Structure 1
Amino acid sequence: MSTRHPGIDGPVPAIGYQELVPKVRTGRRGRGVVVTTAGLAVAALVLTACGTDSSTGTTATTSSGARGPGGAGGGGGGQQTFTAVDLDTDGENASGANTAEVVTAVQSFLSTLSDEQKDTATFDFTDNVSRQTWSNFPASNVPRKGIALTDLSEASKSAAMAVVKTMLSAKGYAQVEAIQRADDWLQANSTSGNDSFGDGNYYVAVYGTPSATEPFMVQFGGHHLARNYTYKSGTASVTPAFTGTEPKAFTIDNTAVEPMKEKAGTAFAVFDSLTDAQDAKAKLSATVNDIMMGPGVDSGKFPTPEGLAVSELSADQKPLVRAAIAAWVEDAAPGEAASLLSTYESALEQTHLAYANNTSVDGESTYLRVDGPRVWIELVNTRSRSTPDVHYHGVLRDKNDDYGSSNPSS
């Protein structure tokens, strides 16, 4: 099977991600960040945030309709503040986690590092500012914690990616690879010529001592990617998770790649199925330009549910919503993915669908949302200066379990 893409001369094999089998470094000693904790909160680290321009330092201010709860800017604010808060370990983690396998993979990775590299890659589990530092900007714009793949030997890089592969499902890992390939494409083709693109500009960080019984966390991320996995015994928290791609579809090594083919496809299928009456209920009155509950929005306060209740959908439409949720959740390893999906599906009737602006696949600022008692998914078409077309930003959050915590708020 082949397809044609704009800008690609002639048919090429079409595959989705599921078929693709100045830096600030702060280690466990807290270099570069001063955190004073008195009760719940205090010091903040302010970083450049993600706007609609992913290739330069330019940021775009999100409209008032797209601002996060309490007036805080969401994924598109001009600056981003990470505040030290009391992240507990009482989140409603998914069961069935492959914690022992992740522990082994992390230990193997750390054993390949020099003492200096290990200090760069590891942090105290109580370093809550660092644990909440993630973004969809390139690391040159929003510095990441941990160590960059480009700074590792081939053996260490292979071991680092083995950690990521162990944390994720096969298709989740394939998507990571596809997003990195998109960044390689940008490095070669971006109109801005930004040398911060490329698969080496992704970072891995480990919080706490990997253990089968005590909590620890593994972060992996870079441009358009954030994985924050917190483990506690045989359970795991897999949010917040950011997934995006720029461009939406591209060709590399004579192969067409669409990193978010399933996530976007299942989401659009839900909204395409709506009747006119359902569509009217689902449409938001506010304008939304980018992710609302994105990087730096850790108040724990999500918008009041609005839009169309899934309970109002037909028997044929409801499975479409489940598929849209599964496309995000099943990035995780099979055990915790099944547990989470069961939890979210049990509250499907209380879940709401909402969109803003339009529901066109290539529409400017198309914004789609799935909002359940726990699950929160956003997908938006946003523009940058790297390419002339819109591209995807998306986020998965769990209202009771981000960072493995039930108390993300200060």
Structure 2
Amino acid sequence: MNKTLSLTAGLLTATVLTVAGCSSDTAGSTSSAAPSSSTAPQTGGPPSGGGPGGGMGEVTAVNLNTDGASPGGANTAAVVEATNAFLATLDDPTKDIAEYDFTDNKSRQTWSNFPATTVARPGVELSALTADQLQAVYAVLEVALSEAGATQDADIQKADDYLNSLGGQGADGFGALKDYYVAVYGTPSETSPFMIQFGGHHLARTLTYNGDKVSQTPQFVGSEPVSFEVDGTTVEPVKAESTSMFGIMSALTADQRTAAEITSGTFDDLLMGPGQDSGNFPTAEGLSVSELDADQKAAVMTAVEAYAGDLATDASTKLLAKYEAELDQTTIGWSNNTGPTDESSYIRIDGPSVWIEFINTRSRSTPDIHFHTVYRDKTNDYGSTKPATS
């Protein structure tokens, strides 16, 4: 079993990254002119480039406890069974790559919106697994997630195959299998904490179980491009999130829209994205949901459900009930733009527990914008209460 995270990212030139990365996998900022983290070469270890939200800054291990405020409902026994079945398919050398100590907080916090060629991930690469082993991985996700969540993972992976098909320098760094990793932290148990980590480019699932409790945050999903065709079928990996977040803005009156604007600054990427695990969320800004009518409140909950609903049904039902009970203490806000195709359109939901950010970022691999979005639970990220920097 891995005791510490060993990350090896090859030396990548700015030229390669210009094509191979999401364009504006840049630092979230109070300035629209923030420098891009994708311009700095990275070698070995967690990259030091980047900043809030974009890519991955230097990961500092946080004191993650196991006291997260989950409302329960986890199907832990089924997840344990599926996870053990996956681990049983691995030989000892591969199992050693896939397994980590649950206390390896630095590895647990290593996820990014960059491709794995730029920010190396913990765990075993999917391309190193056999067909039966891959099926066992997907069986874990199908048990842990809702149908919508598992389908979204597959669609985000298809986006990497699509980017690979575009060709060009660095395109071989993308792929549905070679850009995604799976890791298991701790011993799968119905009574003791363990975590399943799955992700790669534009995807991070951090599923932490502790008896009846479960956490699915931090959760990052994105799509580049936002829409593409596979065998004549249109694929839109982040359609539910994008449609519902822009739906909130469409539901507001002109006066409400003005009141909801975030005035402390502008953003060119997510504020609480990869590497931002201090628990220091900004002061709430925008429009209180308590001032909305019933239909507008329903629009907010539709957006929240697009994220929290990725978890298996019983747990997500309990979690959504918790967020709905906190709705009148929740704010919505926006910055830059609010159009679905406008560059840098930024929308936020900020509650006592739930935190959701959505932004349109510039693409380099395609001529249009693409989506980045992060979902956190302030009281349950990584199955922990509000983190404190160690």
Q: 2:30 aligns with which of 56, 61, 64?
A: 64
Distance 1:330 1:257 in 2: 19
User: Percent identity, aligned pairs only?
Assistant: 49
Give 2:3's aligned amino acid.
R
Alignment of 1:297-316 (within 5 A): 297-316=276-295
Aligned to 1:55: 20
Structure 1: gaps spanning 5 or more residues: 1-26, 34-44
Following TM superposition, by how much is the alpha carbon of 1:55 offset from its aligned partner in structure 2, in angstroms?
2.1
1:337–1:193 Cα change, 3 Å: same
Following TM superposition, by how much is the alpha carbon of 1:119 offset from its aligned partner in structure 2, in angstroms?
0.3
Q: CA RMSD in A?
A: 2.1
Aligned to 1:226: 204
Aligned to 1:97: 74
Following TM superposition, by how much is the alpha carbon of 1:64 offset from its aligned partner in structure 2, in angstroms?
2.9
Following TM superposition, by how much is the alpha carbon of 1:61 offset from its aligned partner in structure 2, in angstroms?
4.4
Contact map agreement 1:374 1:398 (CA 8 A) in 2: yes
Distance 2:29 2:3 in 1: 39
Q: 1:401 aligns with which of 377, 380, 390?
A: 380
Distance 1:193 1:249 in 2: 21
SS at structure 2 position matched to 1:409 = coil
SS at structure 2 position matched to 1:195 = helix
Q: 2:95 aligns with which of 118, 133, 152?
A: 118
Q: Structure 1 residues 80-89 or 369-378, which shifts more?
A: 80-89
Distance 1:395 1:352 in 2: 16
Aligned to 1:150: 127
Aligned to 1:335: 314
1:329–1:54 Cα change, 3 Å: farther
Q: 2:3 aligns with which of 25, 29, 35?
A: 29
Aligned to 1:178: 155
Aligned to 2:84: 107
TM-score, L = length of structure 2: 0.89
Aligned to 2:235: 257
Question: Across the two proteins, how many residue pairs are aligned to each other?
Answer: 364
Give 2:294's aligned amino acid.
A
Give 1:228's aligned amino acid.
T
Alignment of 1:35-50 (within 5 A): none
SS at structure 1 position matched to 2:71 = coil
Give 1:161's aligned amino acid.
Y
Give 1:116's aligned amino acid.
P
Contact map agreement 1:191 1:385 (CA 8 A) in 2: no
Contact map agreement 1:365 1:382 (CA 8 A) in 2: yes
Aligned to 2:297: 318
Distance 1:81 1:370 in 2: 27
Aligned to 1:10: none
1:159–1:54 Cα change, 3 Å: farther
Following TM superposition, by how much is the alpha carbon of 1:344 offset from its aligned partner in structure 2, in angstroms?
0.4
Distance 2:255 2:5 in 1: 56
> Does structure 1 residue 388 correspond to structure 2 residue 367?
yes
Contact map agreement 2:54 2:274 (CA 8 A) in 1: no
> Does structure 1 residue 132 correspond to structure 2 residue 122?
no
Alignment of 1:342-361 (within 5 A): 342-361=321-340
Q: 1:292 aligns with which of 261, 265, 271?
A: 271
Alignment of 1:10-21 (within 5 A): none
Contact map agreement 2:218 2:376 (CA 8 A) in 1: yes
Q: 1:270 aligns with which of 248, 255, 267?
A: 248
Following TM superposition, by how much is the alpha carbon of 1:400 offset from its aligned partner in structure 2, in angstroms?
0.5
1:192–1:247 Cα change, 3 Å: farther
1:190–1:361 Cα change, 3 Å: farther
Q: 2:345 aligns with which of 351, 366, 370?
A: 366
1:180–1:304 Cα change, 3 Å: same
Contact map agreement 1:242 1:396 (CA 8 A) in 2: yes
Contact map agreement 2:336 2:346 (CA 8 A) in 1: yes
Residues 86-111 of structure 1: per-residue CA shift (max 9 Å, x gap): 21000102311010000000100000
Distance 1:198 1:350 in 2: 42
Contact map agreement 1:241 1:397 (CA 8 A) in 2: yes
Following TM superposition, by how much is the alpha carbon of 1:85 offset from its aligned partner in structure 2, in angstroms?
2.2
Aligned to 1:283: 261
Contact map agreement 1:54 1:384 (CA 8 A) in 2: no
Distance 1:250 1:259 in 2: 9
Contact map agreement 1:55 1:384 (CA 8 A) in 2: no
1:184–1:116 Cα change, 3 Å: same
Give 1:223's aligned amino acid.
H
Aligned to 2:180: 202
Aligned to 2:358: 379
Residues 188-239 of structure 1: per-residue CA shift (max 9 Å, x gap): 0155442111110211000000001100000000110000010011110110
Give 1:256's aligned amino acid.
T
Distance 2:300 2:26 in 1: 31
1:306–1:31 Cα change, 3 Å: closer
Distance 2:290 2:229 in 1: 41
Residues 333-379 of structure 1: per-residue CA shift (max 9 Å, x gap): 00110111011000101110100111011001000111111100011
Distance 1:65 1:99 in 2: 43
Distance 1:305 1:197 in 2: 37
Residues 105-135 of structure 1: per-residue CA shift (max 9 Å, x gap): 0100000001000000000000000010011
Distance 2:170 2:54 in 1: 22
Give 1:194's aligned amino acid.
A
Aligned to 2:42: none
Distance 1:97 1:361 in 2: 34
Give 2:117's aligned amino acid.
S
